Amino acid sequence: MKTMTALLAAGAALAVSAPAMAQEAGTPAEAFAGPRVEAIIGYDHNRSGSTKDIDTNADIKQSIDGLLYGAGIGYDAALGTNLTAGVEAEVTGSTAKWDNNNGVPNTFNLGRVKAGRDIYVGGRVGYAMSPATLVYLKGGYTNARYNLLGTDGTVSQRQRLDTDGWRVGAGVEQKFGENMYGKIEYRYSKYGKGEYDYNGNTPDSSRFRLDTDRHQVAVGVGMRF
């Protein structure tokens, strides 16, 4: 949280020190209008939700952490002098995983759990503090996959857990030059439905309820056209 606050303050300071950028657009919001593409990297924390909390057992692994990476696209429109609204989509992966290695079981009671691809589609609204700095809120739909491996020591079974949920977040975007920008954001995802996708000819499972939380802090570098 202290790091996030420091970065937000740094972004605001850069905006104040960039008067030349203020002449590039008719209004602050127009400086953030148009299509964009970006690369993303950050921290990814996956955890069983509050209804599955088992902190009383210190031997049970409830979370996995790793490096978030991926790419996104979006389009923003200026709404008046300072407001913006847009749509965005993102595909990311993660190095987050847990391997039993013949030790104690984790929350999933499986040999290995690894975060797979994550697809996000949503929208965002922003407020242009200046032609160089935009603060925004975002929200939408996310579909995350977890790759699973279970074994009894002799036979191993691989399967995928596909989950559906929603995401909300907030961030700050900072322009650098005419078209380039950087951003930092925090996002929280909640997955409440899932199904097992088995390999081979085995039919997929019925959809079932689950409770999984995901916390991410991401930074991005992009270009607006």
Position 101 scores a pLDDT of 58
The residue ranges of the chain whose pLDDT is under 50 are 1-25, 58-59, 106-110
Closest CA to 40 of 86, 74, 9, 11: 74
Look up residue 183 and give its two tokens. 């951003």
Residues 156-176 pLDDT 10s? 567 889 999 999 999 999 999
Position 48 scores a pLDDT of 82
Position 10 scores a pLDDT of 43
Q: Are strands 34-48 and 97-99 parallel, antiparallel or unpaired?
A: unpaired
Select from 3.40.50.2000, 2.40.160.20, 3.40.50.150, 3.30.2270.10 the CATH code of 2-224. Answer: 2.40.160.20
Region of 214 please: left (phi>0), alpha (psi -120 to 50) or beta: beta
b/e code 191-219 from CB counts within 10 Å (16+ = b): beebebeeeeeeeeeeeeebebbbebbbb
Position 18 scores a pLDDT of 42
Domain ranges of the chain: 2-224
